[in-house]
Structure 1
């Protein structure tokens, strides 16, 4: 008796390191016809391919690679265009891990970096060298939520012969699709909003051209950056609710930002959805009227004040990551941006009292009540 045909609605988890072949002809087919079958999960797996294809569709790309973390995604993106002797430009407002990768590791490989202040991003002439290959930036900067005019920046990069690489983790493709605005590569820490439930460590890079997509896959395979089947499966599951979650995150964050802006204990609030934000109009246009779930605010620059807030809060635990369905808080000085120099942190305004909130999708009245009692 033949087993019944199986047609699962959801892709099964292919928790295997290697795939079987019937004979030498089958092995040859693998090499002659890329994508016809699987060999080894570092080279490709149905689950990691499903995730890469899903993120590529979201971003409108020509192809993508899923990686073992957001840092692996940044590494793969930079190596797509760079080799020893090259020079990279990076927005000064950048995730601390990106700066650490550039300063501590890629410099050892002979790739130099210069940082461009936010106000000077649209005139790169003073920073471009003969060996400059690309500019790396974030759609919304971490942690001060400055918003980059991606179309304008893409035009500037094109005029200078540079590739534009955009970290779209904070915005997600629900709000902004950098490739459509002229970027060449867009990357994500899938750990954050794409997976969305604080139970996955993953990354992804999407290319605008098929040639760059092929290069990304080669880098992922050769360096062993590819993502495991289980993490891929969980990430795909999270992606299915991305649109709904981002809408809920955005609504709650807007109300939290409004509350904090009016609170006497708070010295400043950084959220693109507030009319007081310097790039509010740009964020509204580039984000389709939504502004995401991340914001930062300032308390007095006293460790005791920050500790008191963190100890009192029940709905915003101190957890140095972001974008889960449950809210959390972080202090960039001691976590995400501790690898920056004192001068870099001072220039960016990353001080003791700067608190970053990842606003979740809980009932917003519970979040506001908790903030009220924690800020007393």
Structure 2
């Protein structure tokens, strides 16, 4: 009798879930099914695939893999993380109200305010570390709470279980952007969330060579809505990107361990540096959300944000322009370390007055800590800070 695969550990799921050796050749790695269409034995009679906008065998394997990692019944892959958010929002209707964290990825803010608000979906942006603010924002039309945790870029921690309990009391769905934490460190569905969103471009892919998104859920109704959006709106990923994402998830657990170790060491270094102001890393005991993060995450991730004691944008640019190992670039979650300036790069689409309200200052610097040797990463930051 075959063993119960549901009891297997995360690393085993990462390598095997959703996949079987190819039945025609025995290939261990899922093939790249580079085909737009599939032969039918008679009209409407086929082997489960008709047209690759709707579904593709390589994508099916990835979706099964991601669902297993998130402990979900369904995984739905998209052409990008933003496409996944777009599909979720299209599950709402004009007049619906969404409560979102006021500290979130700039692309999410742009999509909410510039695309969906004109179609009649209303948004409130609040500090979701404060449950009272969330409750005060709830109206009779509130249909969804949208959370990121840790938030991008201020690394705030939202209590997922508490938010879900509040939402359930009002019959409101909860979606969690789990991109920063990954399913290896955090399982929002287990804490009560209805939907989990990933920019698989980041840690899941892990090598900065794909654009891909995913939504995982155990709700059959949401899975049906999302698959309808893939079929109808066409935001489907190509088989090569799905293949590369599958390659990435196989090493997610070992990469994340190194990301976390390196980030922890750099956060402690930065926290003691005289030219560094506030360090935002949930693994520091001084972080306001440390206790909640320790409860809902198995480790604290590879992302750090910090400000400088010299709050001028010129000081930040000095650091940003003088690293060697850390590359000045947008995105995150690859094996390589990246440094970026949220105010002028990833969050430039958020108006300056809104950035100021949440404390996103001109000197804030965000690090995506890679898996290089920690001594090289520390030395690189030290020499850049010395130039201020």
**Same fold? TM cut 0.5:** yes
Deviation at 1:361, TM superposition (A): 0.3
CA contact (8 A) 1:168 1:187 kept: yes
Deviates more, 1:329-338 or 1:183-192: 329-338
| Matching of residue 62 in structure 1 with residue 68 in structure 2 | no
Instruction: Give the secondary structure class of the aligned counterpart of 1:151.
Output: helix
Residues 203 and 122 of structure 1: is their aligned pair in 2 closer, same or farther, counting only changes over 3 Å?
farther
Out of 329, 332, 336, the residue aligned to residue 319 of structure 1 is 329
Which residue of structure 2 lines up, in the alignment, with residue 41 of structure 1? Answer: 52
Cα offsets for 1:182-230 (capped at 9, x unmatched): 0000000000000000001000001122222122111111110111100
Deviation at 1:304, TM superposition (A): 2.3
**Alignment partners' CA distance in 2, 1:15 and 1:122:** 51
**Alignment partners' CA distance in 2, 1:303 and 1:120:** 30
Structure 1: segments with no counterpart, 5+ residues: 31-35
Which residue of structure 1 lines up, in the alignment, with residue 157 of structure 2? Answer: 147
CA contact (8 A) 2:336 2:371 kept: yes
**Alignment partners' CA distance in 1, 2:132 and 2:343:** 28
CA contact (8 A) 2:32 2:58 kept: yes
Which residue of structure 1 lines up, in the alignment, with residue 232 of structure 2? Answer: 222
CA contact (8 A) 2:320 2:341 kept: no
Within 5 A, what are the aligned runs for 1:1-376?
6-24=25-43, 27=44, 29-30=45-46, 36-80=47-91, 82-122=92-132, 124-288=134-298, 290-299=299-308, 300-376=310-386
Deviates more, 1:268-277 or 1:299-308: 299-308
Cα offsets for 1:214-265 (capped at 9, x unmatched): 2211111111011110000000100000000110000000000000001111
CA contact (8 A) 1:91 1:121 kept: no
**Alignment partners' CA distance in 1, 2:261 and 2:317:** 28
Deviation at 1:119, TM superposition (A): 4.1
**Alignment partners' CA distance in 2, 1:89 and 1:314:** 40
Instruction: Give the secondary structure class of the aligned counterpart of 1:77.
Output: helix
**Alignment partners' CA distance in 1, 2:155 and 2:256:** 16
Which residue of structure 2 lines up, in the alignment, with residue 33 of structure 1? Answer: none
Instruction: Give the secondary structure class of the aligned counterpart of 2:119.
Output: coil
Instruction: Give the secondary structure class of the aligned counterpart of 1:353.
Output: coil
CA contact (8 A) 2:128 2:134 kept: no
Deviation at 1:123, TM superposition (A): 5.2
**Alignment partners' CA distance in 2, 1:37 and 1:118:** 43
Deviates more, 1:87-96 or 1:117-126: 117-126
CA contact (8 A) 1:183 1:208 kept: no
Q: TM-score, normalised by structure 1?
A: 0.94
Q: RMSD of the alignment, in Å? A: 1.4
CA contact (8 A) 2:129 2:158 kept: no
Aligned length, in residue pairs:
363
Instruction: Give the secondary structure class of the aligned counterpart of 1:107.
Output: helix
**Alignment partners' CA distance in 2, 1:327 and 1:102:** 29
